[in-house]
Structure 1
Amino acid sequence: MAIATTPHLNFRGDARAALEFYHSVFGGQLVAVSYADANAVTDPAEASQIMWGQVASDEGFRVMAYDVPSHTEYAPGVIPLFVSVRSTDADEIERYWGAFTAGAGAGSGSTSTVVVPLAPAAWAPLYGMATDPFGVTWIFDVEVPWAG
């Protein structure tokens, strides 16, 4: 038996756009079930928002997301979490980083913001950090065995 941990991100109206962005970077299958699809509408203005969504790729990438309904308190932290994308393959990390940060710095507000450019680090052959257009900070790195 295997277990997998999947980040589940909470949004207020941006879950569909966030999932579409993650899908554009990592590929795989995107599933987005709206409150209307699930017959769970509590506010007609939120009917098309996401009650359950996921992007899953054959390479092992997984992320889930939903839109917190207006009747539920939503107070995200400053940086409540980092999502870590790790691989032992530098080319794979560079490919995902390139897609994730495409157009970064263009000032359109719809691109990722590079926090730490992808480059060698003392603990990894490649390490980079970027915040996506939805405020989620992601870390991309090449995983190496820890010799601590």
Structure 2
Amino acid sequence: MAFKLNPYLNFDGNAEEAFSFYKSVFGGEFAGGIMKMSSAPGTENLPDEEKERVMHVSLPLDNNQTLMASDIVPSMGHKLTQGNNVYLSLHPDSKEEADKLFNALAEGGKVEMPMEDQFWGDYFGSLVDKFGIGWMVNYNPNF
């Protein structure tokens, strides 16, 4: 079985800000722009603040991967629960790229494990960014 896995993140009103930040870290352009809730049929009765929330955004990354997201809509009963059940694991091609990604994502966030050579042979670190998203950066010179 062959498939690709695209991480999909949910935010509570700050998806556009988060993805502008991720775009500054990873580069690239949003595929199809940023779709707002107001562009969907049947959303005319949403509160004005919710009409400006992100319905969908996707940021193509290297290696045919895409990071995607949307905002929740509280008036439709959505509730965001942040936790440590999801981390996005990045596997760059060099230590230098690992450091660059880690340091950019850590800006305004909380480092859990700084980038260091680990006992299992990889160069690894983990953090939670300023938007509450967990990231692992793992460089293995043998892969």
Tell me which interval the TM-score lies in, with the shorter structure as reference length: 0.7 to 0.9
Equivalent residue for 1:136? 133
Q: Structure 1: which amino acid aligns with 2:58?
A: Q
Identity of aligned residues (%): 25
Equivalent residue for 1:68? 72
- Encode CA deviations 1:45-104: one digit per residue, 9 max, x unaligned: 2111100011113455521110011113324252120111112422221221122224xx
Distance 1:66 1:40, change over 3 A: farther
Q: Structure 2: which amino acid aligns with 1:32?
A: I
Cα separation, 2, equivalents of 1:73 and 1:36 = 17
Equivalent residue for 1:17? 17
Cα separation, 2, equivalents of 1:59 and 1:80 = 25
Contact 1:34 1:51 in 2 (8 A): yes
Distance 1:15 1:54, change over 3 A: same
**Stretch of structure 1 that moved more, 30-39 or 3-12:** 30-39
Contact 1:14 1:67 in 2 (8 A): yes
Secondary structure of 1:100's counterpart equals helix
Q: Structure 2: which amino acid aligns with 1:36?
A: S
Contact 1:26 1:61 in 2 (8 A): no
Secondary structure of 2:4's counterpart equals coil
Equivalent residue for 1:119? 116
Residue number among 90, 93, 99 corresponding to 2:98 in the alignment? 93
Equivalent residue for 1:54? 58
Cα separation, 1, equivalents of 2:80 and 2:104 = 29
The structure where helix makes up a greater share of residues is: 2
Q: Provide structure 2 residue ranges, at least 5 long, that are not aligned to the other structure.
A: none
TM-score calculated relative to the size of structure 1: 0.80
TM-score calculated relative to the size of structure 2: 0.83
Superposition RMSD in Å: 2.3
Contact 2:23 2:29 in 1 (8 A): yes
Contact 2:95 2:139 in 1 (8 A): yes
Cα separation, 2, equivalents of 1:61 and 1:89 = 18
